[in-house]
Amino acid sequence: MPGVSIKHDISIVLGGSAGQGIQTVEQIVTQVLKRSGFHVFGTKEYMSRVRGGSNSTEIRISSKSNPSLLNRIDILIPFDKGALKHLEKRISSSTLILGDKSEITDEKEKNISQIVDVPFSKIASDIGGAIYTNSVAAGLIAGLFNVTLEELHGFLDRFFAKTGDVIIEKNKDAASKGHAIALSLIHSGRISINIARDPSLSEHILINGAEAVGIGAIAGGCNFISSYPMSPSTGVLVFLSRHAEEFGIVAEQAEDEISAINMVLGAWYAGARAMVTTSGGGFALMEEGVSLAGITEMPAVIHLAQRPGPATGLPTRTEQGDLNLVLYSGHGVFPRIILAPGTLEDAVSLTRDAFTLADQYQVPVFILTDQYFIDSYYNISSLALGDKPVASFISETDAAYKRYRITDTGISPRGIPGFGNGLVTADSDEHDEEGHITESSDVRIAMVDKRMRKLTEMKNNTFPPELTGSGGYKTLIIGWGSTFHGIKEALSRLKRKDLSFLHFKQVYPLHPETADYLKRAKRVVMVEGNANAQFASLIRLETGIGIDDVILKYDGSQFSVEELADRLEAILG
């Protein structure tokens, strides 16, 4: 029988159907291991159903931060027969499978040499029922990393605190039995894990993308959020709703997406700092509202968590397919800003800054994430928010106030009703400086030009792309949004000094130095999670520079590190 010996980095995958409690194991294990001093990364892929199907969660534990998806599975813990079939392309001869043979195999699979028969079902049944299978598995994984029973039980006391003493004790009993199995596997030589601990990591915070966006919104002064629930964006609404009372936020679950975005515009008009969170199909219904924000010059922060379309598409999977949707959303022509965080730290800081940018330029500001980013999590040392105060650009009005006064920058003083003596108007028709409806061609031209002048100001205040590697590169890899960690780790594997990576966390307007970065390269390769290289097309449109080498993925899953390294190597030779 093969064994597993790990020194620096291990990938553990849990597989099973919806309703089997994989998420419970994941929550316990990741928190316990982080508290015990390990770097932890977790991500999941799941089907669009409440029960059944085949889902999986990857938990990656490392001696250094590696928050990117691996194709490799070192240890697989399947909970049903569908898991082995679902994950067969990722299972290798070196994968150790820990599971109840009677529950996870059919006749042709029973003799697979790397399966270690672990009687999860019997142990759980003896304790009180199948529901305790999760704690057996959690105890087993914790034991593999030499987490003490004292540490494990202490966490379970807190985790199950609301269930009552009887349930707590049964879960601790289940975890203890799983822990004992782990020790027997270690003593028999089947598993050897020697990943170094760093005690300081116990003080780190463990958050996912939805929480990072929510924290950034709070830091940006968000005091109103509206949304119609839609995966994968709902996590942001849930997070802010949970903390609404603590931070003085009005959280509104609207009757539909049209109401949600119009509530946001109304909230900004009244002086609030508001955000709407949605996904592609929901955002399609919001486009008239985006156009309304454009002509009324109303700030708006719009978080869009991408998933594969068209229509319902793959509602619980991931893709970077909505850049064009956001870039060209809303009829007519008006400026906007599009941000795309690649790290959790970026998600916090960019979402915070989105509120300032929306307020400053009086435009819609988009935060583009995706299912993979929203549902993935890892430990970070701090939120790095600093002491930066929330900036407000509201002006006190006087009797001569003109809401749409023509200015050199295109930015007019923004008043709100009741703050000063002026009349604050907002109209969806074309209007003059005071906000009165007009059909004058001269006024129309002046107003369009005024609004578009903001682009010049915005381009001078863009977030610069981040270069990883030498400035003397021959080949430049470009990525945006959630591809950041995967590309970065893939490049570290290739170990080529002539190769560098340029990551964009603001995709529109483009940074003024974008063309300079591209011109310095003999070859440029774009990596995107969509079928038509949308960001490459935008770069060509804005700079005139075409990118012929593209690595695209649009099957609903995220790039793995191995896939990126292989595909880059195939292109580069």
For the chain, residues classed under CATH 3.40.50.920 are 466-572
For the chain, residues classed under CATH 3.40.50.970 are 206-380
CA pair distance 330, 154, nearest whole angstrom: 53
The 499-504 sheet, strands edge to edge = 466-468, 499-504, 475-480, 523-528, 549-552
Residue range 4-195, CATH number: 3.40.920.10
CA pair distance 61, 396, nearest whole angstrom: 54
* Among 491, 566, 493, 487, CA closest to 528: 487
In this structure, what token pair is assigned to residue 283? 């955002």
Domain 206-380: homologous superfamily in CATH: Thiamin diphosphate (ThDP)-binding fold, Pyr/PP domains (3.40.50.970)
Residues 6+ apart with CB under 8 A from 80: 15, 16, 17, 20, 54, 103, 104
CA pair distance 430, 296, nearest whole angstrom: 9
- Right CATH for 466-572 from 3.20.20.70, 3.40.50.920, 1.10.3720.10, 2.170.270.10: 3.40.50.920
Residues forming beta bridges with residue 77, ordered by sequence position: 14
CA pair distance 471, 387, nearest whole angstrom: 32
* Among 224, 228, 240, CA closest to 284: 228
Per DSSP bridges, beta strands 96-99 and 115-117 are: parallel
* Residue 573 CB-density burial (10 A; 0-12 exposed, 13-18 middle, 19+ buried): exposed
CA pair distance 257, 278, nearest whole angstrom: 8
Residues 6+ apart with CB under 8 A from 450: 404, 406, 407, 410, 412
Give backbone dihedrals phi and psi of 353, rounded to 5 degrees, phi first.
-70, -25
For the chain, residues classed under CATH 3.40.920.10 are 4-195
SS (H, E, C) 475-544: EEEEEEHHHHHHHHHHHHHHCCCCEEEEEECEEECCCCCHHHHHHCCCEEEEEECCCCCHHHHHHHHHHC
Report whether 62 contacts 197 (CB < 8 A).
Answer: no
Buried b (16+ CB within 10 A) or exposed e, 400-436: ebbbbeeeeebbbbbbbeeebebebbbbeebbbbbbe
pLDDT in tens, the chain (573 residues): 456 777 799 999 999 998 888 999 999 999 999 999 999 999 999 998 888 889 999 999 999 999 999 999 999 999 998 999 999 999 999 999 999 998 898 756 656 778 999 999 999 999 999 999 999 999 999 999 999 999 999 999 999 999 999 999 999 999 999 999 999 999 998 899 999 999 999 999 999 999 999 999 999 999 999 999 999 999 999 999 999 999 999 999 999 999 999 999 999 999 999 999 999 999 999 999 999 999 999 999 999 999 999 999 999 999 999 999 999 999 999 999 999 999 999 999 999 999 999 999 999 999 999 999 999 999 999 887 767 788 999 999 999 999 999 999 999 999 999 999 999 999 999 999 999 999 999 999 999 999 999 999 999 999 999 999 999 999 999 999 999 999 999 999 999 999 999 999 999 999 999 999 999 999 999 999 999 999 999 999 999 999 999 999 999 999 999 999 999 999 998
Which stretch of DSSP H or E encloses residue 14?
strand 9-18
In this structure, what token pair is assigned to residue 419? 């703050």
Residues forming beta bridges with residue 97, ordered by sequence position: 76, 115
Q: DSSP state, 186?
A: H
Report whether 128 contacts 121 (CB < 8 A).
Answer: no
Residue type, 302: I
pTM: 0.96
